[in-house]
Chain A
Amino acid sequence: MTITKATYTLCKSVVAAQARQELQELILKLSTSAGSSDGHFGYLARRQGCQLLGFLIVEQERATISLGSLPVFILPLADSERMLFRSAHAEITHLNQLCVEPVLSRWPATRLALDPYSQHVQLAESPKANPAKRLLSEVERAELTQAFVQHSGVRAILETPAALVGQLDDNQIRAAVLSLLGLIHQAGVGHVPSAIEQLAFQAPRNHPQRGVTRFFVALLSVRESLRSLNQMIYQAILADRVPVLDEDAVISVSDTHGNVLGTSAVIAFQPDADTIVLEPGDIALVKPIANYHSLDGLARLEDLRFEHSRDYGSTYTVSTRLLDNDLSPFGNLVESL
C-alpha cells in the first residue's frame, strides 16, 4: 500500500473518531467571530502554518501577542480545550516518529531534520496523548508506518554509507535540510535552484557532493511527506473530504512544469464552499480534465492569490506542487541524484 493510500485510510478513521468532532467544534469556535476571541485565536493559529501546534503556540505566546503590534487580546484556552489540542498533537508527532523509526534507529542525529515542526516555536512542556481522546486508529496507524518503510527517501537514507555524513550532529543536519528547503522556496514553484540543477545534470555520478546532497534531499523528502501527512490529518479534522480542483472549479492551468524537483502548476479556480477556505500549505486533490491537462493527485498549495470584484467575480490562483505516492513534492529529486 502506498503512503498516499494509507493516509487516505487513516484520514477516514479520523473523520469517524469521536475526538474529531470535539476538536472540529473547538477550532471552529476559535476561528469565527462568534467565538470568545472574535476569531483572532484561529486566525493567528493558522498563520503559524503548523496545524494543531499553531493553537498551542498561540496559547503559549498569548501574552507576547497581546503586547505586539496587533491590538489583540487572546483569552486562554480552558484546561479541557488545551488538553484536547495537546493530546491530538501528541498523537500526530508520535505517529511521525513511528513512520521514521527505521531512520532514527540508524541515524539518531536526523531527528530534528525529520521533524516537520522543528523550525517552529517549541512548547514549554511536551504534550501527551490522552487515551480517552484518541484521534488516530491503531490499525490504520500501523498500516501507514508500514508504508513508510517503502518511502524512496527512507530507502535512500538507509543506503547512505555512514562515512559520508556520520560525523554531523542534529543541528548541522537540520540546518543543511532547512537551507535546501530555503533554496527551493526561494527559486519558487516551477523553478529549480541553480545549485541543485548543476549537481543533478553536471556533476559526475561518483561526485562525493552528490551522495551527501542525496542524503539531505532524502531527509527533506521524508520531512515533507510527514508535513503533508500531518496536514491531511488536520484537514480531516476540519472537513470530511479533501477539497477538489476538477472541471467543476478549475478555470485555467498554466506554467505546468515537470522537472528534477517534481511536478508543479499554477491553477486558477472559482472557489466554492469547500475551496474558499484554502490557504497556503493546504492540500487539494487535482483531477485531470479531458483534452486539457493530465495532472492527477494530491497537491500542496503554495502561493495563493485571491481576487474578487463585483463585476468579474472571484478567483483563486494557486501555485501548486504535486505530491507523489510518498506524499512528497520532492521525491523526484531523490531519484535524480
Chain B
Amino acid sequence: MKVRAIQTEEPRLEQWRLLSRYSYEPNIARFFASHGAPPPTEPLAEYIAGCIRQGEAYFTAATNAPLDIQPLLLYYGAANLLAGAGAMLGGRTLPIAGHGMNLRQSPAGGTRIADLEVVPVGTTSGALQLFTNVFSSGTTFPPGVPWTVEEVLGSIPDLKEHFVECFPNARTYVLAVELLRKENVTFERIALRQFAPDPDPRKALERVPSLSRAYIRPEFPAGGDYVILRRKLGAEEVGSHSLSGGKWLHLAHDKAGRLVEPGQLILMLMGLYALGHLSRYFPEQWNPFVRMDPTGERMVVERFLQIALRYIPNLVLNALSSERIQFVYPVSAEPKVEIPAGEEELKRLIRRETEALLRERTV
C-alpha cells in the first residue's frame, strides 16, 4: 500500500478534517465517481454524511469523556464511522440488524475484564460480519465461537508493550517486525522474544496469514536472537502498521479449527463493543473497575481506548484512500554536511580517495 505522509501538529483533528469531507454530498459523489460507481442516491448520500458526522461527534465527545462512558461513546463512534465508510466502499447501505456479537462472562469463570468473551452471531445481518466483509474481505467469523477480551487486546500492535506488562503469561497475536537494509536489499526480522510465551516460533509463524506467499522460507540463524524474513520479489506485502509506522505481523486465531485474522480495525471494534457493552449493561462490574482497578487491568484498558480514539479514524481513512496515511510532526533541520547523502555520494567519495591513492603510488 502506498504511504502518504501528512505533516500536522494535530493528527486527531487532521484525520477528522479529512474524513469530514464526506459529510458533504458533492465529495461523496466525487468519491463514488473516482471508484467508477454510479452517483449515490440522495438517501444514500445522507446516510453516509450522517454516519460520518455522528462518528465524529461521538469521537469528539469521547476525547474528554471519563472512563465511565468513554468505551461506549467510542463504540458508537466506530460503528457509525464503519457504517458510513462501509456504505461508501460497498456503494450501498449495509443491511445491518444488530451488533453481530454478544458479550458473555467466561463459562470457565474469571473476574478480569480480559476473561469476558465476545461471541460473533448473525453472520448475514450482524454488523461485525458485515463490517468485516468490507474492511477485512475474506474473513469469516465462525458463529458462536467466543473470543476472549484477552485475545482481542493481545492482537493490537500498539498495545503489545502494555499488554505484556499486564498479562505476562498471556499469548499475544502480533509480532513487531524490524526493517533493515543492507547493500540495496531490504529485509525484515523479528526478535525471538516477541514470540513469548509461545514455545515454538516456527509453529507460531505458520499462523501468519499468507506468510509463504509474501516471504521466502523464514531463516532461524543458529544461536541467533532473530528470525530473518526476506520478502519475495514482486510479492504483495502482508501485515499491518502501527500508529508510529512500525510494521507488524498478525498471528491468526484458531477458531473451531479455522484460522481467523480479522485485522486490527475489526479487532478494535470487538474490544470497544466488549468494554462499551460492559459499561452500559453491567455497571456493577464496570464501576468497581473504574474506581479501584481490582484486577490491575485499568492501564491496559485506558491505553487501548486511547489507541482506538486515535487510530480507528486513521484506519478508516486508509481504507477509503487505499493509502497508508501517516501523520507526522513537521520538522525542519539543516542537513548535516559531513554525512554522505547516500550510496552514490559514498561511491564518489571512495572513488576520489582511491584515485588519490593511485596517483600517490604512480608518482
Contacts and interface: CB of A to CB of B under 8 A. Distances in A.
Contacts of A169: none
B52 to A, nearest CB: 37
Contacts of B222: 310
B221 A251 contact: no
A268 interface: yes
Contact of B219 (A250, A270, A289): A270
B233 A289 contact: yes
B225 A310 contact: yes
Contact of A310 (B182, B217, B224, B232): B224
B223 interface: yes
A126 interface: no
B337 to A, nearest CB: 30
A314 B187 CA distance: 12
Interface in B127-142: none
A254 B184 contact: yes
B230 A311 contact: no
Contacts of B219: 270, 313-314
A252 interface: yes
A248 B225 contact: no
Contact of B216 (A270, A308, A312): A270
Interface string B220-260: 01111110101011110000000000000000000000000
Number of chain B interface residues as a range:
20 to 34
Contact of B228 (A252, A268, A272, A312): A312
A255 to B, nearest CB: 11
Contacts of A314: 219, 221
Interface of A: 247-254, 268, 270, 272, 289-293, 308-315
Contacts of A308: 221
A164 B180 CA distance: 58
B108 interface: no
Given A311-B226, A312-B182, A248 B233 contact: no
Interface string B196-219: 000000000000000000001101
A310 B224 CA distance: 5
A293 to B, nearest CB: 8
A292 B236 CA distance: 13
Nearest to A249: B216
A313 B228 contact: yes
A310 B223 contact: yes
B341 interface: no
Contacts of A272: 217
B185 interface: yes
B217 A248 contact: yes
Given A249-B216, A310-B225, 10 more contacts: A247-B232, A247-B234, A248-B216, A251-B230, A252-B184, A270-B217, A308-B221, A311-B226, A313-B219, A313-B221
Contacts of A309: 221
A289 B233 CA distance: 7
A290 B217 CA distance: 19
A312 B216 CA distance: 14
A323 B261 CA distance: 45
A249 B219 CA distance: 11
Q: Which 10 A-B pairs have the closest CB atoms?
A: A313-B228, A310-B224, A291-B234, A292-B233, A292-B234, A313-B219, A310-B221, A289-B233, A252-B185, A247-B232
B187 A251 contact: yes
